[in-house]
């Protein structure tokens, strides 16, 4: 079976990936992760209009501040994530063609996975298949459908412990990864004969989680919440303080749509919601506070100069159930290295990244 390092030769195994967290995962974080032999993703977010600027910034960070141009055989060693129900393929294509990010992560199609076919087809065409296609799924049924319709290079198998947006109903990676692996191994084959790689996501914050996911059938893992506690993340201090404070994430986080509603974010397909730390916005929502009043209180909290976070605050603090495992700020490169080293020690009995 072809290993994932074949497509990303600068990486070490197991692959550590930083999630394309909207408004948080910018070039500084993605580049730091990739430089540490991981794979960092930039969030294109809800639109694609600033993608060229983001990829140019990543290019300069990778080259030490120098302006360089890529030849046709080169890919940019960072990925880009798109929320496809809102992002524009046609707006994104010129930047993808020019910079050739090593991977494009597609998530949350508006009407169904058939919506992703034009994305995959056009991106592969303009990059001569050099940019690999990643698709995020949250169920076995979706994995099978995406594999058949899109034939992605990588399936990001996201469990229900994930922070931020994901499917409202689903299983944890403990059961989702092995079942998806079993189904793909017996029922689905890519037209080019290559293996479809599985990357686990959702609730994974340290090397123990990575080792477990690899034993379940993943080739690597996505970390989101863990990277919120890094200086490279574009995150408010109050938000980061809450990530460090919170514990017992299965109880102190909740899946809800109210955190979108109060921020006037509309359009997410019905099967998605978001997991975040419970705060006053959510508690008032559960007590029946009208949405327009809740939104007004949220807007007022935004004017409190970073003081609007916490259980008595109102500002959205997306986090996964593994938030209690995050207890200090670390450089993104140190997170990648420490997580991978512990995973390797547990998997292989040695504190060394594998090139297998």
Distance separating alpha carbons of residues 259 and 330, to the nearest angstrom: 27
pLDDT at 356: 43
The DSSP secondary-structure symbol of 37 reads T
CATH 2.60.40.10 fits 4-234+329-348, yes or no: no
Q: Answer whether 18's CB lies under 8 Å from 33's CB.
A: yes
Q: Burial code of 34-72, b = ≥16 C-beta within 10 A, e = fewer?
A: bbbbbbbbbbbbeebeebbebbebbbebbeeeeeeeeee
> Which residues, 6+ apart, have CB-to-CB distance to 1 below 8 Å?
195
The reported pTM is 0.94
Q: Which pLDDT score, from 0 to 100, does residue 86 have?
A: 96
**Residues of the chain where predicted confidence (pLDDT) is lower than 70:** 1-2, 65-73, 186-193, 306, 350-356
Q: Where are the domains of the chain?
A: 4-234+329-348, 237-323
Q: What's residue 289's pLDDT? A: 98
Q: Which residues contact 192 (CB under 8 A, 6 or more apart)?
A: none
pLDDT of residue 307: 79
What whole-number distance in Å separates Cα of residue 136 and Cα of residue 337? 24
Tell me, what's the pLDDT at 64?
84
In angstroms, the CA 196 to CA 137 distance is 13
Q: Pick from 128, 132, 323: which is nearest to 245 by CA?
A: 323
Give the pLDDT of residue 67: 53
174: Cα within 13 Å, side-chain hemisphere: 5
> What pLDDT was estimated at residue 72?
57
């Amino acid at each position: 079976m072809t290993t994932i390092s074949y497509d990303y030769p600068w990486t070490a195994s197991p692959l550590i990936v930083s999630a394309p967290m909207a408004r948080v995962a910018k070039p500084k974080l993605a580049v730091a992760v990739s430089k540490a032999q991981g794979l960092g993703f930039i969030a294109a977010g809800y639109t694609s209009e600033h993608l060229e600027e983001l990829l140019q910034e990543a290019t300069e960070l990778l080259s030490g501040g120098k302006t360089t141009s890529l030849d046709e055989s080169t890919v940019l060693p960072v990925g880009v994530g798109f929320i496809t129900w809102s992002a524009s393929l046609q707006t994104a294509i010129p930047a993808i063609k020019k910079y050739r990010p090593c991977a494009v992560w597609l998530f949350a199609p508006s009407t169904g996975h058939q919506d992703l076919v034009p994305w995959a087809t056009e991106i592969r065409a303009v990059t001569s298949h050099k940019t690999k296609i990643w698709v995020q799924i949250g169920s076995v049924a979706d994995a099978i459908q995406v594999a058949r319709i899109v034939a992605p290079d990588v399936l990001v198998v996201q469990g229900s412990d994930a922070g931020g947006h994901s499917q409202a109903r689903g299983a944890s990676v403990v059961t989702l990864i092995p079942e998806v692996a079993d189904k793909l191994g017996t029922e689905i084959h890519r037209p080019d004969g290559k293996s479809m790689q599985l990357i686990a996501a959702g609730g994974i914050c340290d090397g123990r989680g990575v080792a477990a996911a690899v034993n379940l059938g993943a080739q690597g893992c996505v970390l989101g919440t863990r990277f919120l506690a890094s200086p490279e993340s574009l995150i408010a201090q109050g938000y980061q303080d809450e990530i460090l404070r919170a514990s017992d994430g299965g109880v102190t986080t909740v899946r809800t749509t109210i955190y979108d509603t109060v921020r006037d974010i509309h359009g997410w397909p019905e099967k998605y919601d978001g997991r975040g730390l419970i705060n006053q916005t959510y508690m008032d929502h559960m007590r029946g506070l009208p949405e327009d009043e809740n939104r007004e209180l949220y807007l007022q909290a935004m004017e409190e100069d970073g003081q609007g976070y916490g259980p008595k605050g109102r500002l959205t603090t997306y986090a996964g159930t593994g938030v209690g495992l995050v207890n200090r700020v670390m450089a993104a490169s140190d997170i990648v290295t420490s997580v991978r080293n512990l995973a390797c020690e547990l998997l292989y009995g040695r504190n060394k990244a594998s090139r297998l």
